Chains A and B, each alone.
Chain A
Amino acid sequence: MSKYSVIGQRVRRVDGLEKVTGSAKYTFDMVLPNMLYGKILRSPYPHAKILNIDTSKAEKLVGVKAVVTGKDTPGRKQGIWRRFPELCDEEILCREKVRYIGDPVAAVAAIDEDTAEEALDLIEVEYELLPAVFDPLEAIKEEAPQIHDGVELNINVTRHIEWGDVDEAFRKCDYVREDKFRCSSQAHVCMETHDAVASFDYGGKLTVWTSTQSSYYIQRLLADILDLREGDIRVIKPPTGGAFGSKFELDSAQFCATVLSMKLCRPVKIVLNREEEFTATKRRTPMYYYVKLGAKKDGTLLAKEVRVITEGGAYTSMGATALYLTGFFSSFPYKYPNYRYDGYRVYTNTAPTSAMRGFGVPQAVFVGESQLDMLAHELGIDPIEIRRKNGMTPNHEVPGQAYIQSCGLHQCLDAIEEHIKKRGKLPPNHAIGIAAYGFMSGGIFNWFNTPYAFSAALVRISIDGKVDLFTGACDIGQGSDTTLSMICAEELGVRLDDIRIYSGDTGICPADLGAWGSRETLMNGNAVKMAAADAKRQILEFAAAKMGANIVYDLDIKDRWIHLVDRPERGLSYYDIVKEVIRGRDGEVIIGRGHYTPHRKGMISPAYSFGVQAAEVEVDPETGRYRLLNVTTAHESGTVINPVGIEGQLEGAIMMAGGYGFCEDQPMDEGKILNPSLADYKLIRSLDMPESEILGIDTYEPEGPFGAKEAGEGLTNPTAAAIGNAVYKAVGVRINDLPITPEKVFRALREKEQQGK
């Protein structure tokens, strides 16, 4: 019997009914009285000076109410790495220069979308073309055009991580190999595109409804860029149609809608179309990877040296974090005694690269796990064995960087090994490849420079015992509303039914940094648990007095029953007591407060989840085409709060990460994305989706609420590598440059065949 009454149960999502009935109102669906529709004019050039913008003809078009450009703003630059002003380099509405195809230059508000679109054609922009550069390896050269003033060699951010003595260690290795990899970009493809409804009222207060991962970030960034008081801005997150890392920065829909609304004192709605979504929102960071790996002949890894150059695109955005995480997690999940990483994020005249589920780590794992398999193959060591030999274990310290408490990697390796054994001998051209990974449960470094606790929550209990839970955490589909409600109910000792959650509204919810870096369950979960515990304490104080039990007894609440822990039959109804508590405090409702900020937990994260994934493929050697047959994952995420939620995250991750390995790509020509439509951007649909299996591994993370840690992003880390390793095992070719397309496999097979002759 489970020791928990709520968590660990298979429950229906708390926002489920509105979603399956189509009654959920997304920003996409919002219509307000007196509302106008906005459209954005974007640069058709990758790099150019703006000489002049003539909006007069557009303004005269019947139905157009306002046209704005960068001149209608305070002219500030903003960026999400607020702690470092030099990295706040994006104006959004460009004033002097455009830096990528899609960079906004003007916006129109009109009575309907068609009129707004027509007006865009009437805006005349005079550009002076500048030489542009698209590849970071070119942009880093002396002769390359400078994209941002004062940034030499277009080097936006650098990162260095080091421990031990890598050079010395390589000398001691029996075997050293060096490899190059190229990791591609990827589009988030949220089903709901970026959108916002901004309403600035005559009293100077701004309300923005928007599809976002962090209403607090949007509130703060709008305050920064528009010189408004944070408290005069209210950002509300309606049900959000996906985000995956693309929606926690201030975007053009939010900003332009706001600027237009401020000019008119009317609500303005902007919805990006799918083409804008592909070309003018942020995307996964493409990376050039140079890795050197050294081991003893028995497979003990001694040293790893990593050099990464990332294609930054036109602005910093969250690319600095991706640069850091890719470097840190390149050391995962193994105990390297010596390690060195140097990362360079280089500006290019392409759409900015930023955060996408996995945050630089799918790239790190694709490289690391591919190379490790190559090394294992050369040394004649089984892929599972080499991982076992070097894998992290609980209570491991990554020197100077992080402390890993719970770690179930070895159980995951065992489970996958078992799975592979069960599959038995496979036919020719058919094989299983594996990849191991570890990922963070939220980040520690305060690059946003928030003065607030990273997570906070408030619980309010009224006379009928119903619990209102207020949290800034954002449910973007991953189910945080449900998971946090479950944590609240479990801690308070009531049922999931008793909780009503209000989330992602800066006007009524305490700030939370948002849904990124897989932080909500652990960080906001801790805050929610604390708030619930606070409320519970107040209830139990009263109940203890009322029951007058001997001092040796503890009280607790379970399933709406307040009772003595050792004598559960002795107790009182939660509902009855709540009424009396409120009466006893002069009619004041019960309020519980909670917050969480990781302190002294290293530099990266308070906890890490681990896993091992096995991908089974069948290759058609004549064409190079392969089918993903099955992806089985052993993932440990501490205590499982919301099992349906985790399964959903895993299967969804397979679709996304599998796509990263198999088919998703954004080919470019002179900075222009060639496939900005869902007809041309290839992604996995139901007929392409492999069978998926989850092997649950039991662990407990002391830092997390009820022992839980992340299960959202880590799952996107291994699939590309597992696919690559599987293809290699099946037909003997290695593709070091994502995605692993049939044509690449075919060419590699042909080359292999010719070399064999």
Chain B
Amino acid sequence: MIRDFVYLSPKMLKEALTLLSEHQDECKVIAGGQSLLVLMRQGLVSPEYLIDIKGVSELAYIKGDAKRGLRIGALTTHRTIEKSPAMKKGFSVLAEMERRVASIQTRNWGTIGGNICHGEPAGDPAPVLIALNATLSTASLEGKRDMAVQDFSVDYFETALKPDELLTEIQVPAVPPHTGTAYAKFNVIESDIATVGVAVSITLESGDGLCKDARIVLGACAPIPMRAKQAEEALRGKEITDKVLRKAGQVASEEAEPIADMVASEEYRRELVKVLVARVGKEALARARQA
């Protein structure tokens, strides 16, 4: 059951930051609440103050395009991203990823910012954003901070967000030429969270050339979304063939630090990483060639 709290609902960012600065560790911020309310209903989280920022409409927006890059307000819902025309060119992987997040109902109300701040290791958005080399901004009364999305996750359900800070925006840089990005997750039930999630971004020298850059990000394989850097090395500078992709998969499976739980063993998760990296890599490659 949910314990009583003092409810505060700022409508402007400045107001929200002031309240946060005032209450810090005594409060929790709720956006869509699709993750937080589950915890509060089960009595696992019981803040004294609840700051509801869902009404801070200035943080819900999608600006930009494939050429300039995207700026996504933290309170943009998953569903908005999923259906946004801005995703069509170059960022389709974001829409594809969002389409697989939970259920439509959850996506209609839950926000991408809330998802990132929740820090679920099996979360879908973080690996994709990292593969896209995304950055994000946080704000407090003191000012603004920028960092790579990759640096935002610190540990299981823990981010670099300070108690007086709010995540305000996610920036996805313009897609470099000859770049393709893809994402897939493995699960048994279609709408389940990822047993293992893999996002791969490949940039080629030219339309048909060698791999200039690769980013391989694993979800649900470590306390935080993890870059499989050694696997990336196995692709960089090479002509990407099926064999090379399989090798990258093998390396990634060894690099990963998956846990065993009632859903899958560690060994099986590693196996899934191996298979998915190769498959998602192949898809990313095809997109890079078409780009």
Residues of A bordering B, CB below 8 Å: 113-114, 117-118, 622-623, 625, 662-663, 667, 674-675, 679-680, 682-685, 687-688, 741-743, 746-747
Contact = CB atoms under 8 A, between A and B. Distances in A.
B271 A623 contact: yes
Contacts of B190: 685, 687-688
B105 to A, nearest CB: 13
Contact of B188 (A675, A679, A741): A741
B205 interface: no
Contacts, number: 39
B268 interface: yes
17 contacts: A114-B1, A622-B275, A623-B186, A623-B271, A623-B272, A663-B188, A667-B262, A679-B38, A682-B188, A682-B189, A682-B192, A684-B189, A685-B190, A688-B190, A743-B264, A743-B265, A746-B271
Contacts of B57: none
The list of the 6 closest CB pairs from A to B, nearest first, reads A687-B190, A667-B262, A743-B268, A622-B275, A114-B1, A682-B189
Given A743-B268, A746-B268, A746-B271, A625 B186 contact: yes
Contacts of B192: 682
B290 interface: no
Contacts of A747: 268
B189 A663 contact: yes
A532 B38 CA distance: 52
Contacts of B265: 743
Contacts of B38: 679
Given A114-B1, A674-B262, A675-B262, A623 B191 contact: no
B118 to A, nearest CB: 14
A117 B1 contact: yes
Interface in B146-203: 186, 188-192
Contacts of B189: 663, 682-685, 688
Contacts of A687: 190-191
A664 B186 CA distance: 17
Nearest to B275: A622
B273 to A, nearest CB: 11
Interface string B255-291: 0000000101100100110010000000000000000
Nearest to B268: A743
Contacts of A114: 1
B270 to A, nearest CB: 12
B103 to A, nearest CB: 9
Given A118-B1, A684-B189, A685-B191, 19 more contacts: A623-B186, A662-B188, A663-B188, A663-B189, A667-B262, A675-B262, A679-B38, A682-B188, A685-B189, A687-B190, A687-B191, A688-B189, A688-B190, A742-B188, A743-B264, A743-B268, A746-B268, A746-B271, A747-B268
B191 A625 contact: no
Contacts of A662: 188
Contacts of B272: 623
B1 A623 contact: no
Nearest to B103: A685
Nearest to A680: B262
Interface string B76-102: 000000000000000000000000000
A344 B291 CA distance: 66
B98 to A, nearest CB: 16
Nearest to B186: A623
Contact of A113 (B1, B186, B191): B1
Nearest to B4: A114
Nearest to A116: B1
A669 to B, nearest CB: 9
A623 B274 CA distance: 10
A113 B191 CA distance: 32
A625 B188 contact: yes
Contacts of A682: 188-189, 192
A439 B264 CA distance: 35
Contacts of A688: 189-190
Nearest to A623: B275
Contacts of B271: 623, 746
A119 to B, nearest CB: 12
Nearest to A744: B268
Contacts of A625: 186, 188
Contacts of A683: 189
